[in-house]
Amino acid sequence: MRRPAPHELLGLTSPAYGGDYNPEQWDEATFAEDLELMAEAGVNLVSLGIFSWARLEPREGSYELDWLVEIVGRLHDAGIAVDLATATASPPAWMATDHPESLPMSADGVRLGFGSRQQYCPSSTVYRERSAALAEVLAERLGDHPGVVMWHIGNEYGCHTAECFCPACARAFRAWLTDRYGDVERLNAAWGTDFWSQRYTSLEQVCPPAAMPTFHNPAQLLDWRRFSDHQLRSLMEAEARILRAHSSLPVTTNFMGDFPATDYWRWAESLDIISDDSYPDPADAAAAHEVAWAGDLMRGLADGRPWILMEQAPGAVQWRRRNSPKRPGQFLLWSLARVAHGADGVLQFQWRQSRQGAETFHSGMVPHAGRAGRTWDEVVATGRALKRLGPVLGEPVRAEAAVVLDWDSQWALSSTIGPVEPGERFEAARAWHRSLWEAGIATDIVPVRADLAGYRLIVVPEVFIDYPELARNLEGAAAAGAQVVVAGPTGVVDTDAGAVLGGYLGSLRPLLGVRVTDHAALSGPVGQDDSRGALVNRVSRAVGTPAAETWMGLEAVGEPLRRVLDQMGTPAPDLRAGGWAEEVRIDEAPGGVEAGQGQEPVEVVAVFDGRGGGADLAGRPAITRRPVRGPGAAWYVAADLDAVGRAALLRLVCAHARIRPVVADLPDGVEAQRRGEILFLLNHGDRAAEVAGIVGTDLISGEACTGHVVLAPRSALVVRSRKLG
């Protein structure tokens, strides 16, 4: 079923603009001033009540909503719509005092106390009952108020308490395992409990993976992550059911990009509008990619439809060790970049910078200095710009490339012990997406069960679990002409974290024509420099240690990849990979892509050349390609290519796929994205940039673009295209 776009659900005529609003923290005079300032800034939507539980229910079962109803009414009279929170993100003090069992417990068995936020156990009966009751009271009182246009459930689920190890969670975990496995013997088989004498005779013996003497059972950890995600998600779903029983308004909860603890593909199924909180670091040169990555992911979670940015900082945050502010122009630039990647709304945390509390020095749309200073000027300029982007609403981003992303695989990878210690934030998927973004290729982010029809390029990076369904979909895409690029480690374990036997890649082996026979990770330097010891250590000075390197060299085989490298610079850059590599064997008879439809032999595109840490892999395949009937092909990358290697390979693959950048030959620093017939040119660089061939009307300034435009540093153009002549 088609997911309606946010502007259709919220009645928007221009992108939503505003932020979290906490009027209970301010006096009446400030509230009156806020209404004036919101009009000046062009605010049309605020999120209200996110941390108001203590005000709404000051004593258990005793509700005080009149103040909230009055504020909603006054905002409505001022033309400002409300995204109304259920206020269940942070329980009040009485819950911690009267029901201490509702507090979360750490893996070390310590009950976390009151005085911060999100101090609840997701399995707590009391928390579940009181949060449901509050949601129902709000829905009954304000569900049909004309000033409320959307429900905001909770806030940043799992941000601080993604797991709880209390007795209630232990009981809930056992119940979840009973639903999943039925009996203890099936659990023993799935978890491989004959290893280390972990066999259970009753499900009542199973505990959460709390503090233990050494390594946890990987399958237990994987199921624990699934369970913890389920518990949080069930809280959100319970409130959504209550709201929908009393109101026809759309519901959302704010995601946090690729937050590792929550499988947002599953969460998105229960929401009407996808929304996100995103805080790139202005001190990071790659922050613009973080904006693009988060936007493309949210668009994927919304089934290709637009989404809403629920939170970003107008300036600096307060929670990093050092908190750099956005540079001049960057607030507007990144806001427009969000819209370019599919957002139909740009909201901030928060409207007015707090005077007290843990987020006192987190920037707000109205800073401590008020109207004085750059922040307010940029807030007003951004509101003015967004007001003119009504034609963008609902317009799609059309991408011919896709990157596959899977939370379950990330959990499996981080649950297994070895062969390397993985990161938590989809590093491989981020790296391949960034390479496509740097090349100007519009890219979708899709789940393993996505319909891949229509994509010319599909990248499958580090999907650790072997999914037969994904393999079938990729085979169909390749047979239809797509270029499929698989990068390891992929297809290494099954859904229970058990190793795939007979060679890694599992179900993907017939498509790729290769199998991985072993991992070959580099460890980096081991021990201390012993150069003086080499004078006397007769045995060890003769021992080679290629695994102590941090990189390994590759050599292109054949003219196509060498030609790409020659085009990239003089002298041509060499191919390198980081600390991950694999031993690959080409299968002589791997089967067929849709058997009988003309598979070709596997081609070796690059080999390990023995440089760096690759001495023991010298001459072995590092990149392979298996042509499929017609233009389709399946590529395998058996090493963690660096940025140059990924860029070179993707140039070659995109040529096969007949994919071109959104705008070709852009100057350094400039990103191009298109929504429908509207082109966004975003100059993230520090220098002015000239772009030729741009014809249309700049929606923000209203000026005509007649073929040649100049972008100031950290600025953007939003051009509605028209044809020459």
Q: Which residues of 318-345 are buried (b: 16+ CB within 10 A; e: fewer)?
A: eeeeebebbeebbbbbbbbbbbbbbbbb
Tokens describing residue 717: 């153009």
Tell me which of 156, 239, 400, 582 is the catalytic residue: 156
Between CA 272 and CA 649 the distance in angstroms is 39
Tokens describing residue 449: 């069960």
Tokens describing residue 196: 């280390």
Compute the half-sphere exposure of residue 697: CA atoms within 13 Å on the CB side of its CA.
Answer: 7
Tell me which of 239, 290, 311, 582 is the catalytic residue: 311
Q: Is 117 annotated as a binding residue?
A: yes
Coil/strand/helix, residue 298: helix
Q: Is 166 annotated as a binding residue?
A: yes
Q: Is 121 annotated as a binding residue?
A: yes
Q: Is 64 a catalytic residue?
A: no
Q: Is 169 annotated as a binding residue?
A: yes
- Whether 331 and 363 have beta carbons less than 8 Å apart is answered as no
Q: Which residues of 380-413 are buried (b: 16+ CB within 10 A; e: fewer)?
A: bbbbebbebbebbbbbebebbbbbbbbbbbbbbb
Residue with tokens 């982010």: 445
Q: Is 424 a catalytic residue?
A: no
- Whether 444 and 501 have beta carbons less than 8 Å apart is answered as no
* DSSP output for 554-592: EEE-SHHHHHHHHHH-SSPPPEEEEEEEEEEEE-SS---
Q: What is the 3-state secondary structure (H, E, C) of 122-154?
A: CCCHHHHHHHHHHHHHHHHHHCCCCCEEEEECC
Tokens describing residue 330: 């960057």
Tokens describing residue 413: 């990878």
Q: Is 164 annotated as a binding residue?
A: yes
Compute the half-sphere exposure of residue 701: CA atoms within 13 Å on the CB side of its CA.
Answer: 13
| Residue ranges of the binding site for Zn(2+) | 121, 164, 166, 169
Residue positions annotated with a catalytic role:
156, 311
| Residue ranges of the binding site | 117, 121, 155, 164, 166, 169, 319
| Residue ranges of the binding site for substrate | 117, 155, 319
